[in-house]
A and B are shown apart, each in its own frame.
Chain A
Amino acid sequence: SAVISQKPSRDICQRGTSLTIQCQVDSQVTMMFWYRQQPGQSLTLIATANQGSEATYESGFVIDKFPISRPNLTFSTLTVSNMSPEDSSIYLCSAAAGTSGGTGEQFFGPGTRLTVL
């Protein structure tokens, strides 16, 4: 399994500001994903980070609010833009080694706990 790190591990931010979360994988992976987990809730997929092309966003999430970069096969960033208290959540990065249609096993980073005041 891949080892995944995220920075920062937590942050407290002011309303209206933006935060960029970094995700680093210790090996090249085909697919990387960003999830949100609100308190007491399960995981909701924000987007699939595509290497060399625009991310694929799920319903309810838009690029202007959650811009994503993936410059190579081991690194991705998620920016939470123009934050409001409703964005307070844990943001999780995951990686899958297989190609589309593969086994689908995903491994998660430790998460970034974001609090917006």
Chain B
Amino acid sequence: QKEVEQNSGPLSVPEGAIASLNCTYSDRGSQSFFWYRQYSGKSPELIMSIYSNGDKEDGRFTAQLNKASQYVSLLIRDSQPSDSATYLCAVKGDAGNMLTFGGGTRLMVKP
């Protein structure tokens, strides 16, 4: 069974700090990796996609992928209170378009 693991948190960081969110996955055939942000009472919003090893930056967000170690991470620089949300890691295998979601990490950014 394909598994995606995340620390449930909460991860608490002060405003302006770097928040680091981690995710590990079990299926070595996984090809695509996604980070979703979900505010309380809202649906998930796609914020980052990454497909190859290394770093991918988009504004304050950086996704990091290491397929050999089977982990993917999300860094949020200059964290803001508005970044407080649950961050879901999702992984797509090598066939079909189904995503397997991790349990999510709750991030709290304190002013």
Interface residues on chain A, number (Cβ under 8 Å): 25
Our pick among B99, B101, B104 for the contact of A104 (Cβ within 8 Å) is B99
- Asked if residues A104 and B103 are in contact (CB atoms below 8 Å), the reply is no
Q: How far is the CB of B46 from chain A (nearest CB, A)?
A: 6
| Chain A interface, DSSP helix/strand/loop, else mixed | loop
| Chain B interface, DSSP helix/strand/loop, else mixed | loop
Q: State which of A62-70, A80-88, A105-113 sits at the interface with chain B.
A: A105-113
Q: State which of B9-17, B57-65, B89-97 sits at the interface with chain A.
A: B89-97
Q: Verify if B20 is at the interface (C-beta below 8 Å from A).
A: no
Interface residues on chain B, number (Cβ under 8 Å): 24
A101 to B95, CA, bound (A): 5
A67 to B31, CA, bound (A): 30
Interface centre among B32, B43, B92, B95 (most CB of A within 10 A): B43
Task: List residues of B (68-111) whose CB comes within 8 Å of A's CBs.
Answer: 88, 90, 92, 94-104
- Asked if residues A106 and B42 are in contact (CB atoms below 8 Å), the reply is no
- Asked if residues A33 and B98 are in contact (CB atoms below 8 Å), the reply is yes
A103 to B42, CA, bound (A): 24
A44 to B92, CA, bound (A): 14
Chain A residues within 8 Å of B34, by CB:
104-106
- Asked if residues B98 and A108 are in contact (CB atoms below 8 Å), the reply is no
Which B positions have Cβ atoms within 8 angstroms of A? Answer: 31-32, 34, 42-46, 49, 51, 88, 90, 92, 94-104
